[in-house]
Amino acid sequence: MSKAFTRETDDNEQDDTPDPSLRLPSGTRNYITPGGHARLRDELEHLVRVERPQVVSVVQWAASNGDRSENADYIYGKRRLREIDRRIRFLGKRLDFAEIVDPAARSENTGQVFFGATVTVNDGETVDKTYQIVGVDETDFARGRISWVSPLARALLKAREGDTVRFQSPAGWREVEVLAVDYLRIDP
């Protein structure tokens, strides 16, 4: 059979979510900070306006060279094009269902933890740690950004300064004390 009539597939073609940790629990909203929304929108814009057209031109050039079955530029270009298209679909869906929550717009600092809060905690063993509770797509543990669906963030939500919360971590049950809650200190 001619290769023109066969379909190249990837194992994950039906699943647009690149990482299982980015899946939202069913029935929940995709909360995101304004900065996170802007970063996703910028990435989508870059893929659509810059990266995809460059890959399309390489694939067109490679296709014009003749035999496509042994043409590495064509084969890898098509694969990269599928990856870009998958990421564009994923970002488009995430942005369509995103609910932007601006933590800086909170009229008062109640000392209670909600989405977008920057929380300083102490587990009694190590130095105080500061985390910002952000959307699933903005998670960056190295920068102290934890997803609102993570076990620590779920335990912290609605806690107040001075409260001790208990949560299940990969290392077992842990307790942390909430030292400070801030909504003005937002990481860009």
pLDDT tens-place string over residues 66-117: 778 888 889 999 999 999 999 999 999 999 989 998 887 775 667 789 998 8
Task: Please check whether residues 81 and 151 belong to one and the same domain.
Answer: no
pTM strictly above 0.85: no
Amino acid at 21: S
Chain-centroid distance, C-alpha 114 = 19
Cβ partners under 8 Å of residue 93, min gap 6: 16
pLDDT of residue 80: 96
Cβ partners under 8 Å of residue 101, min gap 6: 31, 32, 33, 115, 116
| Closest listed residue to residue 89, CA positions, set 12, 27, 36, 174 | 12
pLDDT of residue 127: 82
Task: Please check whether residues 118 and 141 belong to one and the same domain.
Answer: yes
33: domain CATH number? 1.10.287.180
- What span, in angstroms and rounded, lies between the C-alpha atoms of 129 and 103? 20
Structure tokens at 22: 């980015």
pLDDT of residue 12: 45
Task: Please check whether residues 60 and 96 belong to one and the same domain.
Answer: yes
Task: Name the region of 166 (left: φ>0; alpha: ψ -120 to 50; beta: rest).
Answer: beta
Q: Is residue 136 part of a domain?
A: yes
pLDDT digits (tens, 9 = 90+) for 89-99: 999 999 998 99
Q: Is residue 38 part of a domain?
A: yes
Q: Is residue 7 part of a domain?
A: no
> What is the residue range of 66's domain?
27-100
Which portions of the chain are predicted below pLDDT 50? 1, 5, 10-14
**Alpha-carbon dihedral sign for residues 46, 50, 56, 59:** negative
pLDDT of residue 182: 86
pLDDT of residue 21: 56
